[in-house]
Amino acid sequence: MLNKIYKLINNNFPKILKFVFFIRYLLLIFFISLVVFIVTPMFFDYNKRHTAIKSHLEENYNLQIKKIESIKFYPFPLAKLELSDVVTSLNSGEVDLVTKKLIIYPKLITIYNFKNFNSKKIKLEKNSISTNFFRLKDLYKYILNIEKKIQIRNLNISIKNFDNTLFKLNNVRFSNYGYKQNKIEGEVFGKEFKINLKKNPKKIDFKLLETGISISLSFSDNNQNETIGNIKGKILKAKIKSDFIYDQELIRIKKFYFREKNLSFNSEGIILLNPFLQINLETQIVHLENKLLKNINLESVLNFKDIIKKINSNTNFNFKQKKFSRSIIDNLNMKIGLAYGRLNVEKNFEISESEFKCKSETNLLEEYPVVIFDCNLSSQDKKKLLKKFGIKYKIKNERLNLDVKGNLNILNNKINFESIKINQDYIATKEDLSFFKNTFENILFKQNFVNIFILSKIKNFIEEVS
């Protein structure tokens, strides 16, 4: 039995061995042929094939190629055509795009016959776009309409109005296939944002990550000269909503509503875009809680100096106390002007029929901004006014007129009084001014600038200096 098995193995093994050796040569020939097939396109003259490549990109990806610096073929690790320094138009010329590298992954068999040239997918790397804000919807529309596979990486978008840059979107990424299919991601103002695509080019849902900001933009049908739309969303716990009209020169804000637990206001106005950004708004404060001021972090706000210096605005704020309201202020009118980082504020408000007027100016671009102020208090009844702060006073109908000039450093918590006058018969001496300064800093300025508006601290200060 063992002899039969031994003979069977010895008789069949040479046949198998011969077959393996024969297959080895076939595999080698196949491998060499495959390598030659993949590598040969490296030696093609792609200058003669520009027209076919341009035509393919326009028909399949709606990219109108204006310029190509060079085209190279790389066989490994995946066969690809790399187009360098490309200038193209998206969506039939509505948005121009400059890309350092446009990569086409061709169906390899078609590279030998450019009349039937086709691709599996394309990638655009190191890209830049300069456009105005409302042309973003054209870019959005372009992305929605692409059916073939496309990936965009490291796209920087400069949002301009004429020659003025409004803001920039950096490192924008998008892919219509794979793990992050139909998601647009990037950075704006140093924060990550995300947009989930929907099959509606007239609506954009935007979320700024780790900030609590989410915005939804909706556009109506455009007429020849203007764009009509609506914006609504959330900023932290606050809800916003507004209609707008855009006509190249300006944005008209209509029915802007801001609603939050501690602050509510309505606003209307115009944002001029040419020749420079200018914001003009009329704002009616509906509800304001004093504790809102405690949450303001001035240092964080002043860190955005690059943004502050680009804002020019004139805004009027009005407030009138409602019945049964606990607000200390009866009514308020405040005019705020901001230009090139210089902030000018005029405040007129009433507390128990006593009128306060205050003008101030400061340069927010300085490392330690100093507020220069000139304020006046005119009261027909000092007792009635002090009662509002919880301070008892015996004399009725006593007039009080107070003039105060000075400056304060809002980050270093320091104040200097230039002059203090009361009822035209008292002018503070240097020693008095020094006393007021130390008392103010120790009581009102003990923590930060915002805390000087706390009612209990104001009461303590008045009692100390009385």
pLDDT at 125: 92
Whether residues 156 and 197 share a domain: the answer is: yes
pLDDT at 2: 46
- Residue 134 resides in a domain: yes
What are the tokens at 105?
A: 């992954």
Whether residues 194 and 302 share a domain: the answer is: no
Which of 189, 208, 227 is the last residue before a domain boundary?
Answer: 208
Whether residues 298 and 333 share a domain: the answer is: yes
Whether residues 30 and 129 share a domain: the answer is: no
Whether residues 30 and 66 share a domain: the answer is: no
Whether residues 443 and 297 share a domain: the answer is: yes
- Residue 2 resides in a domain: no
Whether residues 18 and 110 share a domain: the answer is: no
Whether residues 363 and 313 share a domain: the answer is: yes
Q: Which residues share a beta bridge with 11? A: none
Whether residues 57 and 186 share a domain: the answer is: yes
pLDDT at 57: 87
Report d(CA 462, CA 302) in Å as an integer.
Answer: 30
| Whether the bond into 275 is cis, omega within 30 of 0 | yes
pLDDT at 5: 46
Amino acid found at 85: D
Which of 153, 186, 208 is the last residue before a domain boundary?
Answer: 208
- Residue 264 resides in a domain: no
**Number of Cβ within a 10 Å radius of residue 439:** 15
- Residue 173 resides in a domain: yes
- Residue 227 resides in a domain: no
Range of the domain at 439: 289-465
- Residue 456 resides in a domain: yes
- Residue 168 resides in a domain: yes
Which of 186, 208, 230 is the last residue before a domain boundary?
Answer: 208
pLDDT at 228: 82
Whether residues 23 and 89 share a domain: the answer is: no
pLDDT in tens, the chain (466 residues): 545 544 444 555 455 555 555 566 566 666 666 566 566 666 677 777 788 888 888 888 888 888 888 888 888 788 888 888 988 887 656 678 899 999 989 887 777 777 788 888 999 999 998 887 767 777 777 887 888 899 999 999 888 766 667 778 899 998 888 888 888 899 987 888 888 777 666 777 888 887 788 888 887 766 666 778 888 888 878 889 998 888 777 888 888 888 888 888 899 998 887 666 788 888 888 877 766 666 666 777 777 777 787 778 888 988 887 765 667 788 888 899 998 889 999 989 888 888 989 999 999 888 888 999 999 989 888 888 888 878 888 888 888 898 989 998 888 888 898 998 988 888 889 998 998 888 888 877 776 666 666 666 777 777 777 6
Whether residues 301 and 158 share a domain: the answer is: no
- Residue 281 resides in a domain: no
Whether residues 356 and 426 share a domain: the answer is: yes
Nearest alpha-carbon partner for 251 in 235, 229, 232: 229
* pTM, full prediction: 0.63
Please count the structural domains in the chain: 3
pLDDT at 124: 92
